[in-house]
Structure formats: structure tokens, C-alpha cells
Amino acid sequence: MSDIQIRTEGRADRITLTRPKALNALTYAMCTAIEEALDRWRNDDSVALVLLDAEGDKAFCAGGDIAEMYRTGTAGDYDYARRFWRDEYRLNAKLADYPKPIVAFLQGFTMGGGVGLGGHVSHRITGESSQIAMPECGIGFVPDVGGTYRLARAPGRLGAYLGLTAARMGPGDAIHAGFADSFVPEARWPDLKAGLVRSGDPDAIAAQSDTPPDSPLAAAQPKIDADFAGTDLPAILDRLKASGTPLAQQALKAMGRNAPLSMATTLRMLDCLGPDATIRDALELEYRVSHRIMEQGDFPEGIRAAIIDKDRSPRWRHGADSVPAGAVEALLAPLGPDTLTLEED
């Protein structure tokens, strides 16, 4: 497959995304190929770890390839998107629970589906160019691919801030928020990869790691915790308006572009995921929204405005101060027989 390279080198099984011109956006076929490789390698004792990287310097993976979801969904076919999400979420769970170390190199943009691919593995490496985010509320969706699991576990109210604003995290912020583990200057990446292939020992990462850059979000944590407390979207917006700080102004600007129903639903999802929640709990909750989002949410309109017509003028269903509680609960209601099981069909 031209979009992905899968092979074994030395003591490492390797997966490389090869769509740099598309910012390595993840297609359905790529998800399937990665899962098949992981299943094939799981019990191969001759190989010690999996190395996950991508071509190009702009992105590890900037998200999922969603244009086909729009085409099929607006034609009334919701099965394609639901199947994509079911299979992608199963892959996310396998990556998180894989019995061998998986080392991911997260250069450039790592967003949405890229977080699902590289954000749950055992060793997540950032570099100077890393920009990690969950931008789904901007296209009328919610953080998914296990993103709500990461957001719910972030310190204080940082998860709410990141989910509602789609703020991009540099390496220091990503490590502080729990979306990455270590910082290795990118000039050292070729030598580190070669060493991992040769030895199969992820302990080699520590020898190449540096102290990460400072985290602006860590410094702003007390203010973020105060402004983003609770699950009431209008109340959060009121506190941000009253705050007047540069961070609050930036947050308001970002949230003003996003779908209010998506933001309100995201807040409720993070509230549902308590301290004992697993990534599988998060994926099951996310799939409740995914299963319904084409019919009951703003996702088709968000894709239209951002990807299809590119007018950047989405017409959302609700205003930020008028999202019905019933609309949120309808998206999050149990699915009954359609519940995500993370088992292969």
C-alpha cells in the first residue's frame, strides 16, 4: 500500500505512514493494514518492539480522512462512517493494550486520529516541531479515538480547556497534559531509531532524551482550573469574558468558532469518565456520539465548512447559551444492541 509501509527490521516491527502531502491523514485502509500487522506480530517472539513513525516533517498524522464520511453521510448512508469508527476504535484499544512496547515519533501535527494512533502507546516521543491537539469541536464532532480518556486524565481542568478550545500543545505542554512521555531533539531521531531497530530495547530512549521545554499550560494551570470548572458551557464562557486575560481571550476566540453542541457534549463526556475509567470505557462512550453524529449533530455541516466548501462559516444548530440538555443526553444515551464491543465482526 502506497500510503503506509509495514515491514520488519532487526528487532523491530515497523509501521511508517507515507502520505506526507496529506499530512499523513489516516484512511480506513491504513487502519485495517495497521491492525492486521499488529495481530500478526503479537506472538512473534523474534521481534521485541514496534516502531511507529511517519514520512515528512510537517505531521505524524493530522487526523482521519473524513471526506468520504461526508460523501456517504450526506447521501443518507451512515454505515460507512460507523464501520470506520468501530474499526478505528478497536485499533486504538489494541494499540493501548499491546503486549509489546510501541514507540511512536510524534513530529509536527498529531491531531485527532493521529492521537488515537500514537497517543496511547507505551512510548510517545515528542520533538521541537510537535503540535498535538484534539480539534474535533471545530468540525462539529467531539474528541474521540480515546481522546476523551486522555483529556479526562489531564491535570485539573486542562482536559476541558484542550477539548473546548482545540489548543495545540508543544512538547512541554503535551508531556504535562499526559499526551506524550519524553522529548528527544529531532536531530537525534535517526540514531535513536537505528538503535531501537538494532537492540529492540526501549530503554535506549532515555539516553537520547532531554529535559522538555517549559509548559505554558502548566504555568497557567490555576487560571485554567478556575475558568473551566464545572460542566455548564455558558458559565465557562461568562468566566472567560470576565477574566480578560490573554489566555481567556484566545480561548473565547477559539470557542466562538466551535460547535456549541459539540462543546457541551464534550464537557458532559469528561464528567462521565471518572478516575477509574479505562480507555475502553472512553471509546464506548465516544462511539455513542459517533454512531449518531451524522443525524443528530453538526458533523456534516462542520466538514462542509472546513473541508468541502472551505468557507469557514458553519451554521451550527444551537447557540453557545442555548444548547438543550436533551440534545446532549440524546447523543450520549446507551446504544443497546449497537453498543461498541471492540470485538472483531
User: Domain segments of the chain: what residues?
Assistant: 4-338
C-alpha cell at 131: 503540535
All cell numbers assigned to 336: 443497546
Catalytic annotation on 116? no
CA separation for the pair 18, 261 (Å, rounded): 35
Q: What confidence category does residue 188 fall into, taking pLDDT thresholds of 50, 70 and 90?
A: very high
- Residue in 136, 173, 227, 284 annotated catalytic: 136
DSSP 138: G
Told to judge if 127 belongs to the known catalytic residues of this protein, a careful annotator would answer no
Cα–Cα distance, 90 to 130 (Å, whole number): 26
Q: Minimal CA–CA distance to 314: which of 300, 301, 296, 295?
A: 301
Nearest to 40 by CA among 104, 32, 84, 55: 32
pLDDT in tens, 113-139: 999 999 999 999 999 999 999 999 999
Average pLDDT over residues 39-53: 96
Q: Is 344 a residue of the active site? A: no
**Superfamily for domain range 4-338:** 2-enoyl-CoA Hydratase; Chain A, domain 1 (3.90.226.10)
Residue with cell 487526523: 63
Residue 171 has φ and ψ, to the nearest 5°, of: -60, -40
pLDDT at 195: 97
Would you state the cell numbers that stand for residue 191, as one nine-digit string?
A: 540514531
Q: Cell digits for 129?
A: 516541531
**Torsion angle (degrees, nearest 10) of CA 176, 25, 191, 93:** 60
pLDDT of 345: 61
Which distant-in-sequence residues (6+ apart) come within 8 Å of 55 by Cβ? 16, 17, 18, 19, 20, 24
The C-alpha atoms of residue 263 and residue 100 are separated, in whole angstroms, by 36
**Mean pLDDT of the region 59-86:** 91
How far is 270 from 222, CA to CA, in rounded Å?
19
Q: Give the pTM.
A: 0.96
Residue 310 has pLDDT above 60, yes or no: yes
Span 263-290, mean pLDDT?
97
140 annotated active-site: no
Active-site pick, 53, 63, 64, 173: 64
Q: Specify the pLDDT at position 344.
A: 75
Measure the CA–CA gap between 43 and 241, rounded to whole angstroms. Answer: 55
> Among residues 144, 181, 284, 298, which one is catalytic?
144
Mean pLDDT score, 149-161: 98
8-state DSSP, 321: T
Residue (of 121, 191, 179) closest to 147 by Cα position: 179
pLDDT digits (tens, 9 = 90+) for 79-100: 999 999 999 999 999 999 999 9
Q: Which of 62-66, 86-90, 169-173 has the lowest mean pLDDT?
A: 62-66
Residue closest to 112 by CA, chosen among 312, 286, 301, 230: 286
Does 192 have pLDDT greater than 70?
Answer: yes
Dihedral of CA atoms 103, 108, 111, 114 in degrees, nearest 10, equals -30
DSSP state letters, 209-232: -BPPPP-HHHHTHHHHHHHT-SS-
